[in-house]
């Protein structure tokens, strides 16, 4: 614990910085946040295929009860059996009944209108999509304009993490969500409730490294070094690389809901770990920690969705709201 420029820093001290050696030495954030750099970093992210995979929902939200979800411009029904998650068109191939109202028997949906049984093997044009459950998130391979891969690209995740998953929708495209996170310079200005200080340590078009003082409460902070990288055009990952919680990640995934509008689902998983003694106890309290983790993530994303929506409106020449 130490005082530093009016902040009470908890946690492990980090190597001291030489301010004159930082990439932004002495320049204000609005000068450092160079839109041309952000566009170049975004172009590099956009070149990375997502293998056709999009996030459907948190794994915990995909249950035995069929539910409707909209992704890639279509309505789907998602349900879980002992074989894992399933996702298929939400219209019965007979006369179009909504299958999220179906009963489930022996892994099959039983259509509520005339009793047709529809299972993971499909029927005619009615075909379940490939799905993947990574333990935190359920994915489906729905985009056919990318070379398909057997599984989604996942970042390295900590073992035995505690965490939470939030989801919301933004009226923009996936690239606007990624662009928001490729601009870390906005953090302490736009989210002063969460970030007391933020300094860029390395500015690279593929990986940004920064030191961030995250507010626990008021002037009490935890300072860590973290990186941001976009493994695909629809995902961006923050990884703690020094300080407390090394290996913890915050993964943000942007999945197209509708191209008209457009609408994008923002699903974010926060997976925290620690090598501190006592983390085992925290792990046992994970169900209590989850709502707190999710509330903080949601608060940030309400603001960042506004940022992403405004970016979209400006770039397509629509009057921003």
Indicate whether 111 belongs to the interface with ligand FES (CB under 6 A).
yes
Q: How far is the CB of 67 from ligand FES (least distance, A)?
A: 18
Indicate whether 95 belongs to the interface with ligand FES (CB under 6 A).
yes
Residue 95: contacted member of ligand FES, Fe ion, none (CB under 5 to 8 Å, by partner type): ligand FES
The pairing of strands 220-232 and 7-10 is parallel
> Hey, what are 42's tokens?
């975004």
Indicate whether 176 belongs to the interface with Fe ion (CB under 5 A).
no
Q: Are 251 and 271 in contact (CB under 8 A)?
A: yes
Among 2, 68, 114, 189, binds ligand FES (CB under 6 A): 114
> Hey, what are 154's tokens?
């996942």
Q: Are 102 and 145 in contact (CB under 8 A)?
A: no
Give 113 or 279: the residue with its C-beta nearer to ligand FES: 113
- Per-residue burial over 96-133, b if 16 or more Cβ lie within 10 Å, else e, is ebbbbebebeebbbbbeeeebebbeeeeeebebbbbbe
Strand partners for 256: 264
Give 51 or 112: the residue with its C-beta nearer to ligand FES: 112
Q: Which stretch binds Fe ion (CB under 5 A): 13-21, 87-95, 208-216, 296-304?
A: 296-304
Give 131 or 235: the residue with its C-beta nearer to Fe ion: 235
Size of the site for ligand FES (CB under 6 A): 8
Indicate whether 88 belongs to the interface with ligand FES (CB under 6 A).
no
Q: Residue 161: CA atoms inside 13 Å, Cβ hemisphere, count?
A: 22
Among 304, 308, 309, 312, binds Fe ion (CB under 5 A): 304
- Per-residue burial over 209-246, b if 16 or more Cβ lie within 10 Å, else e, is bbbbbbbeeeeebbbbbbbbbbbbbbbbbbbbbbbbbb
Q: Are 104 and 111 in contact (CB under 8 A)?
A: no
Give 111 or 182: the residue with its C-beta nearer to ligand FES: 111
The pairing of strands 108-110 and 117-118 is antiparallel
- Measured from each CB, the residue nearest to Fe ion is 304
Give 86 or 171: the residue with its C-beta nearer to Fe ion: 171
Residue 92: contacted member of Fe ion, ligand FES, none (CB under 5 to 8 Å, by partner type): ligand FES
Indicate whether 113 belongs to the interface with ligand FES (CB under 6 A).
yes
> 232: closest CA among 125, 153, 149?
153
Among 41, 56, 116, 226, binds ligand FES (CB under 6 A): 116
Indicate whether 105 belongs to the interface with ligand FES (CB under 6 A).
no
**Interface with Fe ion (CB under 5 A):** 304
């Amino acid at each position: 614990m130490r005082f530093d420029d009016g902040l009470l820093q908890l946690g492990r001290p980090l190597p001291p910085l030489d301010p004159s050696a930082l990439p932004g030495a002495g320049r204000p954030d609005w000068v450092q946040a160079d839109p041309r750099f952000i566009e170049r970093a975004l172009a590099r992210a956009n070149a990375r295929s997502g293998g056709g995979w999009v996030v459907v929902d948190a794994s915990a939200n995909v249950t035995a009860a069929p539910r409707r979800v909209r992704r890639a411009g279509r309505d789907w029904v998602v349900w879980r059996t002992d074989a894992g998650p399933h996702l298929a068109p939400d219209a019965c191939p007979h006369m179009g009944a909504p299958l999220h109202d179906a009963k489930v028997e022996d892994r099959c949906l039983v259509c509520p209108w005339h009793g047709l049984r529809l299972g993971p093997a499909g029927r005619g044009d009615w075909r379940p999509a490939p799905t993947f459950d990574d333990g935190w998130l359920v994915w489906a391979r729905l985009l056919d304009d990318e070379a398909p891969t057997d599984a989604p690209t996942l970042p390295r995740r900590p073992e035995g993490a505690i965490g939470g998953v939030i989801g919301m929708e933004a009226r923009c495209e996936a690239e606007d969500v990624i662009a928001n996170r490729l601009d870390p310079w906005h953090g302490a200005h736009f989210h002063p409730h969460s970030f007391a200080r933020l300094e860029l340590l390395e500015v690279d078009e593929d990986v940004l490294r920064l030191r961030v003082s995250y507010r626990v409460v008021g002037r009490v902070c935890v300072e860590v070094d973290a990186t941001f990288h976009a493994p695909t055009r629809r995902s961006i990952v923050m990884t703690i690389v020094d300080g407390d919680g090394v290996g913890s990640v915050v993964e943000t995934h942007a999945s197209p809901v509708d191209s008209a509008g457009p609408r994008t689902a923002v699903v974010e998983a926060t997976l925290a770990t620690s090598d501190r003694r006592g983390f085992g106890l925290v792990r046992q309290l994970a169900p209590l920690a989850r709502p707190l983790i999710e509330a903080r993530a949601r608060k940030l994303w309400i603001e960042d969705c506004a940022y992403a929506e405004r970016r979209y409106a400006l770039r397509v020449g629509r009057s921003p709201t």
